[in-house]
Structure 1
Amino acid sequence: MAASASIIPSNATATAKFRATSTAATTPLSPPSVLKFPSISPNYPSTKPLISHSALPHFQHKPLSAVTPPNASSTPPPTATASTFHGVCYVVGDNLDTDQIIPAEYLTLVPSNPEEYKKLGSYALIGLPSSYQTRFVEPGQFKSNYSIVIGGDNFGCGSSREHAPVALGAAGVAAVVAESYARIFFRNSVATGEIYPLESEGRLCEECRTGDVVTIEVADNKLINHTTGKEYKLKPIGDAGPVIEAGGIFAYARKTGMIPA
């Protein structure tokens, strides 16, 4: 009993406060009629991706369209459809790595900045060795005269920089036709939507020459070299044609397993 008495307040005032508190604690609370939550400002900062589709409309997936060769003013291009590429090609060999496509010193350029995106195009393929006597982009220019790049095996190997396909797209490249691709380059090409990576059945890098005028017929899986008059088969893309024409190359790549779902 002594222990129990020790927890009871010794004066009347303290006892009254204790009882009032105990009574309030047992009184049920009525729910509020309106619940108000703090509003979030529409200007609340958010993390921006490296490539801003909203800032640069040209970062949307490019539709397949005709690419006009440099001398189009004097020679009209062939009729083009929604699944046709046409232009002058630039030919490279095997194992073209991303350092040759865009050297590391230019990776500070931010593609979401329109001016820096433009500069990236001027540096595309500037890392090629001196054995390539023809410049891909002329000094002082931002766009290349070559809208189609033809390569050999393992195109785009090396580091995983997404600047590589972005630089080619900024320079005006619409499509690359290679014997095979480094997986990460293919993935970055699809993810950025800058270029369309197509595969050849043979070594077109030994059949074509820089400056040849070519047409890629996606629906017929072929490349036509108008300069030599020869045609070459491309690897079939199955039912990807309508998907690509709708701007869904990313979905097609996932469907075919080129990139994980």
Structure 2
Amino acid sequence: MKLKGKVVIVLGDNIDTDLIYPGRFLNITDKLETPKHLFEIAYPDLRAKINQGDIIIAGSNFGCGSSREQATAAIKYANVGAVIAKSFARIFYRNSINLGLPLIISQDAAEYVKEMDNIEINFAEGKIKNLTSGKDIKAVPLPRQALELIEGGGLISYLRKKYHK
């Protein structure tokens, strides 16, 4: 699986789910309404900058804090193409795969990619290419099972397709 996109923001470490999707909006489940509150408190102008397929890059421990699935859903429904981070909180990582949000671990992406750079991610091979600078960046390949779930649209969509042929 490969994806090309523009980097919309490069974030630091420990971006928690309260920053991604504030708790006061947890009662909102509508796919069109949820993304309106993505990073609303910490980065209020970000949502207006996100275009289809844009990429978020972060440091270590992205998605830490509470295990709210809405944080992942808000990113996905905002049409973010992928999230790259040095590391992900375990539950956020699993929620992303289950919802079909592409993500990949790279220790170097935050150092070699700037906002507005165009990049290409090869999830199966664990490679990131900064198309703006020409720099090749190492990443951790996604396991085959995770790729299948993401390509299938998430766990529920994947299972529906697999067992309702």
Scaled by the length of structure 2, the TM-score of the pair is 0.81
CA distance 1:230–1:122, change in 2 (3 Å): same
Alignment of 1:190 onto 2:108: no
Query: Does 1 or 2 have the higher relative contact order (CA < 8 Å, sep 6+)?
Result: 2
In 1, Cα distance between the equivalents of 2:151 and 2:73? 21
What SS does structure 1 have at the residue aligned with 2:40?
Answer: coil
Residues 219, 241 of structure 1: 8 Å contact kept: no
Deviation at 1:239, TM superposition (A): 4.2
Unaligned ranges ≥5, structure 2: 156-165
Instruction: Give the greater-gyration-radius structure (CA).
Output: 1
Q: Which residue of 1 aligns with 2:28?
A: 109
1:1-261 → structure 2 map (5 Å cutoff): 83-89=1-7, 90-110=9-29, 116-128=30-42, 135-138=45-48, 144-145=50-51, 147-193=54-100, 195-200=101-106, 202-237=107-142, 239-240=144-145, 243-244=148-149, 247=152
CA distance 1:123–1:246, change in 2 (3 Å): closer
Q: Which residue of 1 aligns with 2:162?
A: none
Deviation at 1:206, TM superposition (A): 2.4
Unaligned ranges ≥5, structure 1: 1-82, 111-115, 251-261
**RMSD of Structure 2 on Structure 1 (CA):** 2.4
What SS does structure 1 have at the residue aligned with 2:63?
Answer: coil
In 1, Cα distance between the equivalents of 2:133 and 2:65? 33
Q: Percent identity?
A: 36
What SS does structure 2 have at the residue aligned with 1:137?
Answer: helix
- Higher strand proportion: 2
Scaled by the length of structure 1, the TM-score of the pair is 0.53
Residues 95, 156 of structure 1: 8 Å contact kept: yes
CA distance 1:245–1:126, change in 2 (3 Å): closer
CA distance 1:243–1:190, change in 2 (3 Å): closer
Instruction: Give the paired residue count.
Output: 153
